[in-house]
Amino acid sequence: MPKIVDRDERRAELAEALWRVVCRDGVAAATVRSVAAEAGWSPGALRHYFATQTELLAFAMEHVIARATERLTARTWTGSIREVVQQLLEELLPLDRQRTREAEVWLILAARTRTDPETGTLMREADDGVRRACASAVGALAGEGLVAPGREPDLETARLHALLDGLTLHALLHPDLMPPERVRALLADHLDGLRHERKP
């Protein structure tokens, strides 16, 4: 009957073209037409696999999530718990060009979230992933006695998450004021600070 193509494979092929455009010209240049041209198809054809611009950006963001998840699971963790937590959280920060591009996509979608509800659910998933990573980090440190007993894990998780996103933003917007080494130092300083008790 119909012409049959592997839909997922096509989407993967388009995703490659999409990410080529993002890496070369930035996420702002990732329009329906430019991605179609990069993949060698017409814009109308691309619309069969990504009906809207939101779906295209959502796919890019899912790509970012998949990459981050892959980095976190595939990596072999060595050293003390404290060192592993630092390394794990650093994987979520824009410390090299690749992750900077990924953070760009994240920022673009964050700005769209306020007007585009569909984007909101995806960003929610992505942020939940980071939040879980923060919770794991706090939990792991607490298990090693590296978090003072008086601290609320929920609060510390939320604070760590806010710090991470703030650092991401500053590393993106003002790389001169917030170079990778400084981001790492601030994260290390924050994690060290969790050890200390809070008295009245």
Partner DNA sequence: CTCCTTTTTAGTACGCTGTGCGATAACCGT
Partner DNA sequence: ACGGTTATCGCACAGCGTACTAAAAAGGAG
The contact set with its own copies (CB under 8 A) reads 26-28, 104, 107-108, 110-111, 113-115, 120, 123-124, 127, 155, 158-159, 161-167, 169-170, 172-174, 178, 182, 185-186, 189-190, 192-193, 196-199
Contacts with DNA, residue ranges (CB under 7 A): 1-5, 7, 10, 29, 31-34, 41-45, 47-49, 51-54
Minimum distance from CB of 140 to its own copies (Å)? 20
Q: Which does 172 bind (CB under 5 to 8 A by kind): its own copies, DNA, none?
A: its own copies
d(CA 191, CA 91): 15
Nearest to 187 by CA among 153, 164, 162: 164
Q: Toward DNA, which CB reaches closer, 57 or 167?
A: 57
Q: Toward its own copies, which CB reaches closer, 27 or 133?
A: 27
d(CA 165, CA 44): 37
Instruction: For residue 147, give the 3-state DSSP assignment.
Output: coil
Minimum distance from CB of 58 to DNA (Å)? 11
What long-range pairs does 12-16 form, CB within 8 A, spacing at least 24?
Answer: 13/39, 14/39, 14/46, 14/49, 14/50, 14/59, 15/59, 15/60, 15/63
Q: Which does 2 bind (CB under 5 to 8 A by kind): its own copies, DNA, none?
A: DNA
Q: Toward DNA, which CB reaches closer, 53 or 69?
A: 53
Contact 76, 69 (CB under 8 A): no
